[in-house]
Amino acid sequence: MPTKTLYIATADGEADAFAAFPGNGERHPGVLMYADGFGIRPALREMARELAGHGYYVLVPNYFYRHGPAPVIELPEYIGDEVRPTVFAQLMPLIEAHLGDDRVLRDADSFLRFLTAQPQVAAGTVAVTGYCIGGLLAMRTASAHPGQVAALAGFHCPVVADGPDGLHRLLSGITAQVHLGHAEGDLTPEALGELDRALDAAGVDCTSEIYPGTVHGFTMSDTDAFDPAALRRHWERLLPLLDRTQSDGRGSGSGT
């Protein structure tokens, strides 16, 4: 499975990124994958390789590039609960600053332009997926690029918006088919119902469900939150979504 470290020119500098893609010389549908708040690291690279093995060109940008190449802070090999508060104390100012201005949309423009220009990427629409804060970035990217993003998936992601009007603005631009997989520890059934009503009101074609018995971060194998069954469920939801929306651009030699 070919992998590369790449550098993406943006309005604010240069973002490093990780890419994984099939090595059969064909062109494949593009997937922009946003990491969780811990950023690009071995666990994320492995997930990108897994997805690429199903016939996709997967680009994982370092959206904290303004603070340096990934990892932007020193990360332990295993991010257990005993070190999590210290790690998040360093990361939260970066996360809050990133969500608080227009840099998300400027970066999304650059990331999508770069992804679709790669010679291994097929022409046509792309997919966007993300984890934790990356899920929110994926939603904002899909909302800002409705004609280009045909599939959107977010897992254990905070659906953060400034009141009902903000939630409507976030969702109303989305024309992609969507799956949202929520951690049981993140979302009550009542909050899920409110989100689902907002999705319906915005006309979003979406499946939105709580993964039973999970806590925030359930897809991440290098954390205490990891749940192997929930990770399998994540693939069982993500791969059919991509297959439905991106199969026209897949090379004949893709898949595993």
- Tens digit of each residue's pLDDT (9 = 90 or more) over 166-194: 777 889 899 999 999 999 988 888 888 88
Q: Assess whether pLDDT exceeds 90 at residue 1.
A: no
Q: What's the confidence (pLDDT) of residue 191?
A: 82
Residue type, 48: A
Q: Assess whether pLDDT exceeds 80 at residue 164.
A: no
Angle at 38 between CA 96 and CA 125, to 5 degrees: 85
Cis peptide upstream of residue 164 (ω within 30 degrees of 0):
no
Q: Assess whether pLDDT exceeds 70 at residue 256.
A: no
* 100-126 confidence digits (pLDDT tens): 668 999 999 999 999 999 999 999 999
**Residue 72 to residue 89: CA distance in whole angstroms:** 13
Distance, C-alpha 114 to centroid of its chain? 16
CATH topology of domain 3-249: Rossmann fold (3.40.50)
Q: What's the confidence (pLDDT) of residue 213?
A: 94
Q: Assess whether pLDDT exceeds 70 at residue 254.
A: no
Confidence band of 152 (pLDDT split at 50, 70, 90): very high
Least trusted range by pLDDT, from 134-138, 194-198, 199-203: 194-198
Q: Assess whether pLDDT exceeds 90 at residue 255.
A: no
Q: Assess whether pLDDT exceeds 70 at residue 249.
A: no
pTM score > 0.75 for this model? yes
Q: Assess whether pLDDT exceeds 50 at residue 69.
A: yes
**Residue 70 to residue 80: CA distance in whole angstroms:** 20
Q: What's the confidence (pLDDT) of residue 170?
A: 83
**Residue 127 to residue 179: CA distance in whole angstroms:** 12
